[in-house]
Structure 1
Amino acid sequence: MAAGRGLRPAAPDPALRVERGRRAGLVQSVRRRLPRPREKGGADTGPSSVDRRKTGSKHHLIYDGRGTPLKVITTAANVNDITQT
C-alpha cells in the first residue's frame, strides 16, 4: 500500500452490542396512533354501488353438459345465492 493510505479499523458488530438498563420484550411507546374523531360525510359519500338494497331480480339457471336447462329460478336481487335450492 502507498504511504498515508491505511485501513480504518473494522466497525463493531451490532449483534455484539448490548444496551444496558433496558428491559427485554415490549416497551411502552409514547408515539402511538390513537383514533381521533373525523368528520363524517363529504362530497365523495353516497349509496354504495354494491349495496344490498338493490332492486331487480336474479336469474338462477342450471344446465347439463349438453346445454339443456335443468332448473330455472328467479329471485329478488337482494336474496343470498347460498339459500337457493
Structure 2
Amino acid sequence: MFQFVHCFWRSSTPTVPGRIAAVALIIAKVEKLKPLEVELRRLEDLSESVVNDFAYMKKREEEMRDTNESTNTRVLYFSIFSMCCL
C-alpha cells in the first residue's frame, strides 16, 4: 500500500570508524608493525575506551546518588512540614 524509502548512510563520505581504521593502517605501515601487533594496539585502544567509559559511568552514578539523597531529604522535610500544618 505505502512505499517508504529510508537512507541512513551516505555513500559519498566514509564513516568515522573507517577513517580510524585507515589511520591505524598508516601508523602500522610507518612503524612497520606486524598484523598481531596492529591487533594488539586496537585491543589496547578498545580496553582504554572501556575503562574511560566505566570511569565516566561511576562519576555519573555518584552524582545521581547525591541528587537522590538530596531529593529524599527534601521530601522528608516537606512531609514533616505537611504533617505539622495538618
Q: TM-score, normalised by structure 2?
A: 0.22
Higher relative contact order (CA 8 A, sep 6+): 1
Q: Hey, which of these two has a bigger chunk of helix by percent? A: 2
Q: Which structure has greater strand proportion? A: 1
